Chain A
């Protein structure tokens, strides 16, 4: 079986600092980290490979060369091959252009399944997996919590999916795109101490637009169908705390607070 995992490296959104003086989100200083949902996808693929070692697991990421170090850490697990798609022409691509780029490459690879994450912490559009599915003509499912590994080896994917708190079951036949939600079910194995610096360059390949052959007007800002015209901060006020007493006035203030924010 062959599984391709798409993975994205994002700035560490959770711990991003806000510069109150300049009124900007300090994105540049934020360290790069693997998108949690994508990590789950890879962990799921590795769990399948643990059961059937002949399974081929390939990971693909698109981004600047600086993601190399973290990408190689993924290769130090049991992943068979890693492709880094990187080209300055691709900078500024929106999800549409990104999907076209990845789709172009994926069309040349035959995989039983493509695993991805559902949400990314930075953009969180969930566009790319569905758009790639459209390009490849495949079916696609979001918010997957678990898949039945036994059934997978029998030739079909039995998926359990999270739909706003309810768990739905679906059956999908390959080829298809399965988008995972961050789950405790699939944990990325640790790299052991001795392996931290292992050379994995033989597993890696870097592809540029030379290799993929897209036209300039199809990629980057030129190939994007949406553009960010501006960004601004939501009013993240320093928390101005209100203090009330346990009396009628105070309780009313609490009630109004809850009502305003939609809790009652």
Chain B
């Protein structure tokens, strides 16, 4: 479609302030944090979208989607811009970005029924701040909290640092509202539970913008007792011991809000002042006084069981200070941008996977071994480690972290560094039956493995896409592999 016709079409539905065609903003919108380095160095290889639009209401979103569906215009749903896996990257010439910026109302905070309803453009950090004033919390605390917005957080099936107690976003969402490519608006009502057929919320939660556009979300509230927070930490002999301690706590029914185990190298970057070359296990117990204390006791008992593997207990004060400084801020992001302009390196990439208790530690060792033996640029790695940060009764995740010095042209960075490393991690994980994406989503850069990830169940995902987005206008390339998009993945 001709750009001027596209813009004319938009102007029929929106005011001029709602349509952004600024060149810099469009360049910025063509990729997300996945290609951050290439973006800063101005060597992105993907097309720019034609416009960014800011609808004021769900009705406007509906009109926009119908327009795009009729004219085969690619739609990138966007809210907080903190995507890290190419979910916001643009692979089509005819694209508009629908940004939830103007839909930033907190609709209702219902303390009695413990629910809060917000529009997609509300910043989680802002909601959280408001709730804390009243003694509540969403329990959702991803690192991007100060910047990320509710629409994206639900679309990506995000998870926060306190998930071991509060769950992931899927445990927090009550009802929601979303719009489909044919313009249809679906409101899923707020009930505590129902058996009204399959749980259709799960078509939306985690769709990564490939099926619909989320406009409103209702989440549960929890009472907030920061005064009862307890930190427990240990230096352990190795990751194996650390994972065993995590498992012990979980299978005995305790729900610490934070349960983490860092490998030595990963520990170094967070805890260089006390890790002493060891793996580090960290717990936080949270909640009302009785529960927090009981959880703390449970943690101590687990530690006691594995005491031969424990080198030393860590001072709680140190952990508390560390935890307070964990989250990103907009300034962190801006600073990183400036840093990438000046230097030939940046904080590295991550690939995070999940598995059951037995498998996860095998995956960890296999990955470490294979990278050290096979990866052709292993000498450029300045950090290679992993940590488990979200545990369940039946397993946990493993978050692989790698930093490297960039000894290649900026446009080659991904294919020289991140892609080969990601490939090793994904392959080793899928080999042993784990999942290649615990919470970062598939985005566009793991879509070659989507079918392998789901196996015979991929059929169900595919059918959803065919039904809801027959014209393939929703976030082309996300989750579902596209032949046309392969050139941007190399």
Contacts and interface: CB of A to CB of B under 8 A. Distances in A.
Complex A–B touching at CB under 8 A: yes
Interface of A: 31, 190-193
- Interface majority SS on B: helix, strand, loop or mixed? helix
B40 interface: no
Contacts of A191: 408
A193 B420 CA distance: 13
B379 A193 contact: no
A190 B409 contact: yes
Nearest to A188: B407
- Interface majority SS on A: helix, strand, loop or mixed? loop
A141 to B, nearest CB: 29
Contacts of B23: none
Contacts of A190: 407-409, 412
Interface of B: 379, 407-409, 412, 415-416
A190 B380 CA distance: 14
Contacts of A31: 379
B412 to A, nearest CB: 4
A192 B412 contact: yes
Given A190-B408, A190-B412, A192-B409, 6 more contacts: A190-B407, A190-B409, A192-B412, A193-B408, A193-B409, A193-B415
A31 B409 CA distance: 22
13 contacts: A31-B379, A190-B407, A190-B408, A190-B409, A190-B412, A191-B408, A192-B409, A192-B412, A193-B408, A193-B409, A193-B412, A193-B415, A193-B416
Closest 5 CB pairs of A and B: A190-B409, A193-B412, A190-B408, A31-B379, A193-B415
B450 to A, nearest CB: 25
Nearest to B412: A193
A190 B416 CA distance: 12
A192 B412 CA distance: 7
Nearest to A33: B379
Contacts of B379: 31
Nearest to B414: A193
Contacts of B408: 190-191, 193
Contacts of A193: 408-409, 412, 415-416
B136 to A, nearest CB: 42
Contacts of A192: 409, 412
B379 to A, nearest CB: 5
Nearest to B377: A196
B487 to A, nearest CB: 14
A190 B379 CA distance: 17
A191 B407 CA distance: 9
A191 B411 CA distance: 11
Nearest to A194: B412
Contacts of B412: 190, 192-193
